[in-house]
């Protein structure tokens, strides 16, 4: 009798667990389906090539926002990638007693800081002294978000390089710095690339830190010390506005943004296909 009860409980709990898994995946599929349904029809050539039209006029596109996002990613990568990769290498190759622990801990702290707070930091550091919103400020904010991601994944990937490789190179009389640059890093190249792409996918979608750094722009930016448009910013601005046409364009922008992010994530996964990742 008791045994029957245990079997029933087993079935029920297993069922609940399976149900949770499917329930969790459902919103994603719903959202994606809705996104495509609403936005796909509006994604046309105009969207990619035209600037936003003045308020009230239908049509126009988000060309400047797309270019703006790419520009901001480029600016962020300029600072975030070298510091992140070198920092990750530092964590693996260094002999310092305490600093690596602090770096690792603070990188995780930085990872958890809300992106809007990072935006405040960039505002204070860049926007206030320059007295204007700018692409540079946006780039700084995004770099701060990108840095810990690149750093930790680089560390993981470099740590996976077997010591025997380093020893073989050292035994040939090659100085340590050459061993790292010419042997270790190339071996870990695919994994580091994955980390880079994951971080790009992440900052491409960030809106909050750009609200008061890059600020957004309805036109092309002329210089990097001016406000610049970005895809997520534009989506946000259009979504909360009262015009139907703008809503339609917001959906289109969302489709383009999510396509960009998913493709980058997919590429990141493919880069490490077949490689051993950490403990699993």
Partner 1 sequence: MSTAIMPNHGEEAGQAATGISATRPGRPAHWGDQLFRLLLRAAGLSLVVLVIAICAVLVWKALPAMRTFGWRFLVTSVWDPVAEHYGALPLIYGTLLSSLLALCLAVPLGIGAAIYLAELAPMWIRSPIAFLVELLAAVPSVIYGLWGVFVLAPILRMYVQPALSRTFGFLPLFQGPPYGVGMLAAGIILAIMIVPFIIAVSREVLLAVPNTQREAALALGATRWETTRIAVLRYGRSGLVGAILLGLGRALGETMAVTMVIGNRPEISASLFAPGYTMASMLANEFTEATSNLYLSALIEVGLLLFAVTVCVNALARLLVWSVGGAVAGGRE
Partner 2 sequence: MADGMFVRRLRAWFGSMEVLHGIDLAIAAQQVTAIIGPSGCGKSTFIRCLNRMHEVVAGARTEGQVLLNGADLYAGDVDPVDVRRRVGMVFQRPNPFPTMSVFDNVAAGLRMNGISRNGALADKVEASLLQAALWDEVKDQLDKSGASLSGGQQQRLCIARALAVNPEVLLMDEPCSALDPIATAKIEELILELKRRLTVVIVTHNMQQAARVSDVTGFFLMGELIECDQTSRLFTNPTDQRTEDYITGRFG
- Site size with partner 2, rule: CB under 8 A: 4
Write out the binding residues for partner 1, residues 42-61 only, by CB under 8 A.
Answer: none
Residue of the chain from 51, 110, 185, 267 that contacts partner 1 (CB under 8 A): 110
Residue of the chain from 211, 214, 252, 271 that contacts partner 1 (CB under 8 A): 211
Return the number of the residue (17 or 23) whose C-beta is nearest partner 2: 17
CB-side neighbour CA atoms (13 Å) of 184? 29
Residue 2 partner contact from partner 1, partner 2, none using kind-dependent CB cut-offs of 5 to 8 Å? partner 2
Which residues are CB-contacts of 140 (< 8 A; sequence separation ≥ 6)?
A: 75, 76, 79, 122, 125, 126, 213
Site string for partner 1, 218-237 (x = CB under 8 A): --------------x--xx-
Q: Residue 230 and residue 216: Cα distance in Å, rounded?
A: 6
Residue whose tokens read 């917001």: 250
Which range binds partner 1 by CB under 8 A, 40-48, 58-66, 67-75, 243-251? 243-251
Least CB distance from residue 272 to partner 2, whole Å? 24
Site string for partner 2, 1-30 (x = CB under 8 A): -xx--xx-----------------------
Backbone angles phi, psi at 242, to 5 degrees: -90, 10
Q: Residue 116 and residue 138: Cα distance in Å, rounded?
A: 12
**Which pairs with CB-CB distance under 8 Å and at least 24 residues apart come from 40-44?**
40/252, 40/255, 42/248, 42/249, 42/251, 42/252, 43/252, 43/255, 43/256
Write out the binding residues for partner 1, residues 83-102 only, by CB under 8 A.
Answer: 83, 86-87, 89-96, 99-102
Least CB distance from residue 17 to partner 2, whole Å? 18
Least CB distance from residue 177 to partner 1, whole Å? 4
Q: Residue 256 and residue 160: Cα distance in Å, rounded?
A: 35
> Which whole-number Å values give the CA distances from 89 to 84, 111, 153, 160, in the listed order?
9, 18, 10, 12
Least CB distance from residue 60 to partner 1, whole Å? 18
Residue of the chain from 123, 200, 221, 249 that contacts partner 1 (CB under 8 A): 123
Contact 238, 58 (CB under 8 A): no
Least CB distance from residue 106 to partner 1, whole Å? 4
Q: What's the length of the chain?
A: 280
Which range binds partner 1 by CB under 8 A, 43-51, 67-75, 167-175, 217-225? 167-175
Contact 233, 208 (CB under 8 A): no
> Which whole-number Å values give the CA distances from 40 to 59, 115, 256, in the listed order?
15, 29, 9
Interaction of residue 33 with partner 1, rule CB under 8 A: no
Return the number of the residue (5 or 276) whose C-beta is nearest partner 2: 5
Interaction of residue 21 with partner 1, rule CB under 8 A: yes
Interaction of residue 126 with partner 1, rule CB under 8 A: no
Q: Could you list the residues that contact partner 2 (CB under 8 A)? A: 2-3, 6-7
């Amino acid at each position: 009798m008791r045994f029957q009860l245990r079997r029933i409980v087993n079935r029920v709990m297993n069922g609940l667990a399976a149900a949770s898994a499917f329930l969790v995946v459902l919103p994603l599929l719903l959202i994606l389906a809705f996104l495509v349904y609403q936005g796909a029809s509006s994604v046309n050539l105009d969207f990619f090539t035209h600037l936003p039209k003045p308020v009230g006029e239908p049509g126009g596109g988000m060309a400047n926002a797309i270019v703006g996002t790419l520009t901001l990613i480029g600016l962020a990568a300029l600072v975030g990638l070298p510091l992140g990769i070198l920092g990750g290498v530092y964590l693996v190759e260094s002999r310092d007693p305490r600093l690596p622990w602090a770096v690792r801990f603070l990188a995780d702290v930085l990872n958890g800081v809300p992106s809007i707070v990072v935006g405040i930091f960039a505002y204070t550091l860049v926007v206030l002294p320059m007295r204007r919103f700018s692409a540079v400020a946006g780039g700084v904010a995004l770099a701060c978000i990108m840095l810990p991601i690149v750093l930790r994944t680089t560390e993981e990937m470099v740590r996976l390089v077997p010591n025997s490789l380093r020893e073989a190179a050292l035994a040939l009389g090659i100085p340590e710095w050459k061993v790292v640059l010419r042997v270790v890093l190339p071996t870990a190249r695919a994994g580091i690339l994955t980390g880079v792409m994951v971080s790009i996918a992440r900052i491409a979608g960030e809106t909050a830190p750009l609200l008061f750094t890059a600020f957004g722009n309805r036109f092309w930016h002329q210089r990097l010390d001016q406000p610049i448009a970005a895809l997520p910013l534009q989506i946000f601005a259009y979504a909360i506005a009262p015009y139907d046409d703008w809503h339609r364009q917001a959906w289109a922008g969302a489709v383009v943004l999510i396509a960009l992010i998913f493709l980058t994530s997919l590429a990141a996964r493919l880069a490490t296909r077949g490689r051993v990742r950490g403990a699993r």
